[in-house]
Structures are given as structure tokens and as C-alpha cells.
């Protein structure tokens, strides 16, 4: 019976068998289905449940709230500009490389900004702000 249920979940949600196996082994299937019923994205929920040990005791509503909080993007351009300038000030050598024509070095600065804001902004917007500031 459990194998049939696992295959059913794989088919229903398009999940890989290893992820479904982890959900079963950790008794998280009911929590997943409850969170999905509340409107959660299946793949995001599964990744969170499988990879983040700290949230496994959360309720379905807490999972949905957590996902929404984590997906909030920073689009406040003045705040991003301030962060970009700070990163550029901390990385003079990289800025010099970019000014000397090594455009690929921009990606290092993008990465530093993304790290500071925990990936909560559009990297294309960050690249644009870096190019504007150089």
C-alpha cells in the first residue's frame, strides 16, 4: 500500500521518488497535502520540508507564511543603490578590473550584493545599478 501511495504522490504532484520517500520517512505527507490545500506551491513546499530540518514541526499555515516571507523581493531601488555602493567601496580592486574592461567581474559584485540581501532582489536590477555606478 505505501508504494502505491508514493507512486500516487509522484504522479499527482510531479515529484521525484526520492523526495516522496523522504516525506514518508519523516511523516510529512499529511503536512504537505494540508499546506497544498491552503494554496502552497508543491515544489517549494517539498523542497522546504525535505531540506530545512528546522521547519518540520511547523503547521501548514506556518509553512505558507514562511514561504511568503522568504519569497519577498527587495525592489526599493534607493536601498539597493546604497548596498551596491557599499559593496563597491569594499571591493575597489574588482571595481578597477571592471573599469579596465573585465566585465565578467561584475558578477562578483552581483554575488556580494545578493549575499548581503539573502537573494531577495532581481540580479538583473543589481547588475544595472552596478553598471550605472561604475
How many percent of the chain have pLDDT more than 70?
96
Residue 96 has what pLDDT?
96
Domain residues of the chain, as ranges?
2-70, 77-133
Q: Which residues of 32-45 are buried (b: 16+ CB within 10 A; e: fewer)?
A: bbbbbeeebebebb
Which tens digit of pLDDT belongs to each residue from 47-102?
A: 888 887 777 788 888 888 877 777 667 778 888 999 999 999 999 999 999 999 99
Query: Which runs of consecutive H residues, i.e. helices, occur in the chain?
Result: 2-13, 17-25, 29-37, 42-51, 60-70, 77-90, 92-99, 106-116, 123-133
Sign of CA pseudo-dihedral 11, 12, 16, 22: negative
Confidence of residue 11 (pLDDT cuts 50, 70, 90): very high
| Multiple choice CATH, 77-133, 1.10.10.410, 3.90.1150.10, 1.20.140.10, 3.50.50.60 | 1.10.10.410
Task: Provide the mean pLDDT of the chain.
Answer: 88
Residue 45 has what pLDDT?
87
Mean pLDDT across the stretch 37-47? 85
Residue 127 has what pLDDT?
95
Report the first-to-last Cα separation within the chain, whole angstroms. 62
pTM above 0.85, yes or no: no
Is the pLDDT confidence value at 1 over 60? no
Is the pLDDT confidence value at 108 over 60? yes
DSSP readout, 79-109? HHHHHHHHHHHH-HHHHHHHHTT-GGGHHHH
Amino acid at each position: 500500500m505505501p508504494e502505491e501511495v508514493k507512486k500516487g504522490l509522484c504522479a499527482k504532484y510531479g515529484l521525484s521518488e526520492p523526495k516522496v520517500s523522504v516525506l514518508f520517512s519523516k511523516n510529512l505527507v499529511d503536512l504537505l497535502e494540508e499546506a497544498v490545500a491552503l494554496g502552497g506551491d508543491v515544489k517549494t513546499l517539498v523542497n522546504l520540508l525535505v531540506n530545512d530540518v528546522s521547519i518540520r514541526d511547523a503547521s501548514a499555515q506556518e509553512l505558507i507564511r514562511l514561504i511568503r516571507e522568504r519569497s519577498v523581493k527587495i525592489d526599493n531601488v534607493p536601498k539597493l543603490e546604497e548596498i551596491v555602493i557599499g559593496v563597491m567601496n569594499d571591493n575597489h580592486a574588482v571595481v578597477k578590473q571592471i573599469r579596465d574592461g573585465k566585465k565578467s567581474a561584475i558578477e562578483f559584485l552581483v554575488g556580494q550584493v545578493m549575499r548581503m540581501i539573502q537573494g531577495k532582489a532581481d540580479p538583473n536590477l543589481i547588475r544595472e545599478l552596478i553598471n550605472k555606478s561604475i
